[in-house]
Amino acid sequence: MVLEAARPLGSETVPSAEALGRVLTASVVSGRSLPPDDNSAMDGYALRAADLAAGPVELPVVYEVPAGARAPRPLASGEAARILTGAPLPSGADAVVRQEDAERIGERVRIPAGPLSGEFVCRSGENVRRTGEDVAAGDTALEDGCRLGPAQLGMLASLGRTTVAVHARPLVALLSGGDELVEPDGDVSGGRIVSSNSYTLAAACREVGAEARYLGIARDEPADIEHRLRTGLRCDALVTSAGVSVGDHDHVRGVLQKLGCRLLCFGVRMKPGYPFVFGRFEEGAGPLLFGLPGNPVSALVTFEQFVRPALLAMAGHTTLHRPRISVTVAETLTKKAGRLHFVRVRLERCGREVRARSTGNQSSGVLRSMTEAQGLLIFPAEATRLAAGEQAEVQLLDESFLAWHGPGF
Amino acid sequence: MVLEAARPLGSETVPSAEALGRVLTASVVSGRSLPPDDNSAMDGYALRAADLAAGPVELPVVYEVPAGARAPRPLASGEAARILTGAPLPSGADAVVRQEDAERIGERVRIPAGPLSGEFVCRSGENVRRTGEDVAAGDTALEDGCRLGPAQLGMLASLGRTTVAVHARPLVALLSGGDELVEPDGDVSGGRIVSSNSYTLAAACREVGAEARYLGIARDEPADIEHRLRTGLRCDALVTSAGVSVGDHDHVRGVLQKLGCRLLCFGVRMKPGYPFVFGRFEEGAGPLLFGLPGNPVSALVTFEQFVRPALLAMAGHTTLHRPRISVTVAETLTKKAGRLHFVRVRLERCGREVRARSTGNQSSGVLRSMTEAQGLLIFPAEATRLAAGEQAEVQLLDESFLAWHGPGF
B154 in Cβ contact with A367 (< 8 Å): yes
| pLDDT tens digit sequence for A239-250 | 999 765 555 567
Of residues B387 and A55, more confidence is placed in B387
How sure is the predictor about A337, in pLDDT bands with cuts at 50, 70 and 90?
Answer: very high
Which residue in the set B185, B296, B305 is minimally distant from A160, CB to CB? B185
Interface contact A70-B190, CB threshold 8 A: yes
Distance, in Å, from the CA atom of B131 to the CA atom of B135, rounded to the nearest integer, reads 8
B190 contacts in A (CB within 8 Å)?
68-70
Distance from the Cα of A203 to chain B's closest Cα (Å) equals 5
Q: Count contacts between A and B (CB, < 8 Å).
A: 337
Interface contact A199-B17, CB threshold 8 A: yes
pLDDT at A180: 84
Interface contact A36-B195, CB threshold 8 A: no
Distance, in Å, from the CA atom of A316 to the CA atom of A147, rounded to the nearest integer, reads 9
Distance, in Å, from the CA atom of A344 to the CA atom of A397, rounded to the nearest integer, reads 10
Interface membership of A397 toward B (CB under 8 Å): yes
pTM of the model: 0.94
List every span in chain A annotated with CATH 2.170.190.11. Answer: 39-129
Secondary structure, 3-state, chain B: CHHHHCCCCCEEEEEHHHCCCCEECCCEECCCCECCCCEECCCEEEECHHHHCCCCEEEEEEEEECCCCCCCCCCCCCCEEEECCCCECCCCCCEEEEHHHCEEECCEEEECCCCCCCCCCCCCCCCEECCCCCECCCCEEECCCCECCHHHHHHHHHCCCCEEEEECCCEEEEEEECCCEECCCCCCCCCCEECCHHHHHHHHHHHCCCEEEEEEEECCCHHHHHHHHHHHCCCCEEEEECCCCCCCCCCHHHHHHHCCCEEEEECCCEECCCCCEEEECCCCCCCEEEEECCCHHHHHHHHHHHHHHHHHHHCCCCCCCCEEEEEEECCCEECCCCCEEEEEEEEEEECCEEEEEECCCCCCCCCHHHHCCCEEEEECCCCCEECCCCEEEEEECCHHHHECCCCCC
Helices and strands counted in chain A (H then E):
8, 28
A185 contacts in B (CB within 8 Å)?
160, 162
pLDDT at B180: 84
CATH architecture of the domain with range A2-34+134-167: Alpha-Beta Complex (3.90)
Interface contact B20-A317, CB threshold 8 A: no
Which residue in the set B70, B404, B409 is minimally distant from A323, CB to CB? B404
B17 contacts in A (CB within 8 Å)?
199, 202
* Local structure of residue A51 (DSSP, 8 states): G
pLDDT at A119: 56
Cross-strand partners of A283: none
B185 contacts in A (CB within 8 Å)?
160, 162
Interface membership of B12 toward A (CB under 8 Å): no
Interface contact B403-A322, CB threshold 8 A: yes
Distance, in Å, from the CA atom of A93 to the CA atom of A304, rounded to the nearest integer, reads 60
ipTM of the complex, rounded to two decimals: 0.93
**Looking at domain A39-129, which of 3.40.50.300, 3.40.50.150, 2.170.190.11, 2.30.30.360 is its CATH number?**
2.170.190.11
Interface contact B340-A200, CB threshold 8 A: no
Interface contact A70-B323, CB threshold 8 A: no
Scan residues 236-295 of B and list those with Cβ closer than 8 Å to A.
245-249, 294
Distance, in Å, from the CA atom of A74 to the CA atom of A54, rounded to the nearest integer, reads 23
| Beta-carbon contacts of residue B327 (< 8 Å; ≥ 6 apart) | B345, B347, B353, B354, B355, B356, B375, B377, B391, B392, B393, B394
* Local structure of residue A169 (DSSP, 8 states): P
Residue B287 burial by CB count (10 A; 0-12/13-18/19+): exposed, middle or buried?
Answer: buried
pLDDT at A1: 94
A361 contacts in B (CB within 8 Å)?
133-134
Q: Average of pLDDT values for A10-19?
A: 97
Interface contact A191-B129, CB threshold 8 A: no
How sure is the predictor about A115, in pLDDT bands with cuts at 50, 70 and 90?
Answer: very low
| pLDDT tens digit sequence for B163-175 | 999 999 999 999 9
B202 contacts in A (CB within 8 Å)?
17
B399 contacts in A (CB within 8 Å)?
323, 399, 402
| pLDDT tens digit sequence for A138-189 | 999 999 999 999 999 999 999 999 999 999 999 999 999 888 899 999 998 8
Q: Average of pLDDT values for A379-387?
A: 97
Distance, in Å, from the CA atom of B399 to the CA atom of A319, rounded to the nearest integer, reads 10
Distance, in Å, from the CA atom of A271 to the CA atom of A257, rounded to the nearest integer, reads 26
pLDDT at B91: 95
Distance from the Cα of B296 to chain A's closest Cα (Å) equals 8
Interface contact A129-B397, CB threshold 8 A: no
B407 contacts in A (CB within 8 Å)?
305, 309, 321-322, 395
pLDDT at A117: 41
| pLDDT tens digit sequence for B329-358 | 999 999 999 999 999 999 999 988 999 999
Interface membership of A322 toward B (CB under 8 Å): yes
Q: Any alpha helices (H) in A137-251, and if so which ranges?
A: 150-158, 197-207, 222-232
How sure is the predictor about A365, in pLDDT bands with cuts at 50, 70 and 90?
Answer: confident
List the single residue in B with minimal CA-CA distance to A89. B191
Interface contact B363-A129, CB threshold 8 A: yes
CATH architecture of the domain with range A171-314: 3-Layer(aba) Sandwich (3.40)
Residues in chain B, how many?
409
List every span in chain A annotated with CATH 2.40.340.10. Answer: 324-402
| Beta-carbon contacts of residue A393 (< 8 Å; ≥ 6 apart) | A324, A325, A326, A327, A377, A378, B408
Q: Average of pLDDT values for A124-150?
A: 95
Interface contact B154-A41, CB threshold 8 A: no
At residue A16's C-alpha, the angle toward residues A14 and A22, to 5°, is 70
| Beta-carbon contacts of residue B399 (< 8 Å; ≥ 6 apart) | A323, A399, A402, B322, B323
Phi, psi of B364 (to 5 degrees): -75, -5
Interface membership of B395 toward A (CB under 8 Å): yes
pLDDT at A398 over 60: yes
| pLDDT tens digit sequence for A287-326 | 999 999 988 999 999 999 999 999 999 999 999 999 999 9
A229 in Cβ contact with A245 (< 8 Å): no
How sure is the predictor about A220, in pLDDT bands with cuts at 50, 70 and 90?
Answer: confident
Interface contact B380-A151, CB threshold 8 A: no
Which CATH code for domain B2-31+136-167?
A: 3.90.105.10
List every span in chain B annotated with CATH 3.40.980.10. Answer: 171-314
Interface contact A69-B190, CB threshold 8 A: yes
Residue of B91, B119, B128, B153 best to disrupt the A interface, most CBs of A under 10 A: B153
- Helix axis angle for A197-207 and B150-158, nearest 10°, is 160
A374 in Cβ contact with A346 (< 8 Å): yes
Distance, in Å, from the CA atom of B112 to the CA atom of B121, rounded to the nearest integer, reads 10
- Looking at CATH, the fold of the domain delimited by A324-402 is given as Beta-clip (2.40.340)
Cross-strand partners of B278: B265, B290
Which residue in the set A41, A361, A393 is minimally distant from B133, CB to CB? A361
- pLDDT by residue for chain B (409 residues), tens digit each? 999 999 999 999 999 999 999 999 999 999 999 999 999 988 899 999 999 887 789 999 999 998 778 899 999 999 999 998 888 999 999 999 999 889 999 999 998 765 444 456 688 999 999 999 999 999 999 999 999 999 999 999 999 999 999 999 999 999 998 888 999 999 988 778 899 999 999 999 999 999 999 999 998 889 999 999 999 999 999 999 976 655 556 788 888 889 999 999 989 999 999 989 999 998 778 999 999 998 899 999 999 999 999 999 999 999 999 999 999 999 999 999 999 999 999 999 998 899 999 999 998 889 999 999 999 999 999 999 999 999 999 999 988 888 877 787 7
* Local structure of residue A133 (DSSP, 8 states): S
